[in-house]
Copies of this chain bind each other. A is one copy, B any other.
């Protein structure tokens, strides 16, 4: 991961739960073979699966020394705390890791490499502080270039943050592969980057250049595959993050969207808690995303990815059926029931004639 083979200890002290430890859960689900242990002294002795439903028997341990005994050689910050700072209580774990000569991988807003103590320690031990949220130095200006691609671009979009857009994108990529269609996953958030080993945390980019970074990622991924599946961020109706969402939509110029929603969630989360801002019904969200795409390049929602983590099996199936009926689109929980229906709908888009709007995709002026 990120430059070399690693045995990871995932730091999730006091917060190793499905909602809090989103990054740790993503790595456990998609790269479990590289995880030696999870650090959470409040849950030490349990298994990862018992705590978050992913990672199987990977043990939760008390501290860095215990993870080292299990062969760990790198520390990954597995939680994105509110505010983006490293909790004071976690400094000792980072220090202990560096003292053992481990690299530390972080997606925090505050860069570990800018911390004088950590930077000095890393320099002394010859280890690396890998801050994946640090934006690229380039200042890229988008020009809608992705609309001119022959490859089919797919973007996952959502009703809110943290409803499963990254997971849906990864499951769709897998299902496309299983259907014999090579697809490339484009990571746009910290967890996605840990899983894919490349990408850009787009919400950490200066606003002027977000669409430009997305465009560059999509053009690069399109060299390798006929279908490019881009991880979405935020939501068009989110009071804080709608701008990031629209920059992704217009930077990626997708032909197909997968609309992600958590069954039962009816209010947008702001600052980690439910707000009074309601989530619109799925058919309205479909219209909103298709309208916003069409301001630049028409796209259609190919299917619904429903996150049913709060429901039992029967309720989950009923929720998918209801979403399909309400929208007239295939709907599935890609983790629980598989992403094959979404992949099939995307393949249909890829195999159909390119939409008329795509012909607009050649820009006369390509100055960057």
Chain A residues proximal to chain B, CB less than 8 Å: 82-84, 109, 135, 139, 141-144, 202-208, 210-212, 215, 236-248, 250-251, 269-278, 280, 288, 291-292, 295-296, 360, 362-368
Contacts and interface: CB of A to CB of B under 8 A. Distances in A.
A109 B198 CA distance: 26
A251 to B, nearest CB: 8
A139 B275 contact: no
Given A204-B208, A243-B243, A273-B367, 13 more contacts: A141-B271, A144-B239, A205-B207, A206-B207, A208-B240, A208-B241, A208-B244, A211-B240, A237-B296, A240-B250, A242-B296, A271-B368, A272-B367
13 contacts: A135-B206, A144-B277, A202-B207, A204-B208, A205-B207, A211-B242, A236-B246, A236-B292, A243-B246, A245-B246, A246-B246, A271-B367, A274-B364
Could you say how many copies of this chain the assembly holds?
Answer: 2
Given A205-B207, A207-B203, A273-B367, A212 B240 contact: yes
Q: Which of A83, A206, A292 neighbours the largest number of chain B CB atoms within 10 Å of its CB?
A: A206
B243 A363 contact: no
A212 B83 CA distance: 13
Contacts of A206: 135, 203-207
